[in-house]
């Protein structure tokens, strides 16, 4: 099953793309709640390139690597990747009169309910939106 989430970001396409693909930005937004952090982000943004974002509970009780391989990179338009468990993710960036529409669709996993997955990914996307809108020039 494919789960889709989206947001509208009040910033330029260049600012949105940069914040999505720059490690020093990623570590500031890539977590679903305030009790988590993303202490490290490695990214090689080319087809066949890999990424690894470390996600950890602030109290040190749990952590995991969110990692995958890029299958499509169209600057300022589209990113697609395959996660370590072979699930696919599709992201589009579209400039509109109101800002940048970012749509993220991902194949659901079987461990958590679809609603819980949607909520978690949407929380991260909302953190991203907030980060970009607060740091834009």
Domain count, the chain: 1
> pLDDT value at position 137?
56
Find the helix or strand (DSSP H, E) in which 59 lies. Answer: none
Each residue's pLDDT tens digit in the chain (137 positions)?
A: 999 999 999 999 999 999 999 999 999 999 999 999 999 999 999 999 999 999 999 999 999 999 999 999 999 999 999 999 999 999 999 999 999 999 999 999 999 999 999 999 999 999 999 999 998 75
The CATH number linked to 75 is 3.30.530.20
| 49, 74 Cβ separation under 8 angstroms | no
pLDDT value at residue 56: 96
- Provide the residue range defining the domain that includes 101: 2-135
Total-model pTM: 0.94
7, 9, 11, 75, 86 from 132: Cα distances, Å? 12, 8, 7, 18, 29
């Amino acid at each position: 099953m494919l789960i889709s989430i989206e947001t509208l970001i009040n910033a330029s396409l260049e600012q949105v793309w940069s914040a999505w693909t720059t490690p020093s930005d990623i570590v500031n937004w890539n977590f679903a709640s305030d009790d988590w952090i993303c202490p490290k982000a490695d990214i090689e943004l080319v087809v066949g390139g890999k990424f690894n974002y470390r996600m950890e509970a602030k109290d040190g009780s749990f952590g995991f690597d969110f990692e995958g391989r890029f299958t499509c990179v169209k600057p300022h338009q589209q990113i697609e990747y395959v996660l370590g468990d072979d699930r696919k993710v599709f992201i589009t960036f579209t400039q509109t009169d109101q800002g940048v529409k970012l749509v993220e669709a991902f194949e659901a996993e079987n461990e958590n309910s679809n609603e819980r997955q949607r909520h978690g990914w949407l929380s991260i996307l909302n953190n991203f939106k907030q980060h970009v809108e607060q740091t834009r020039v």
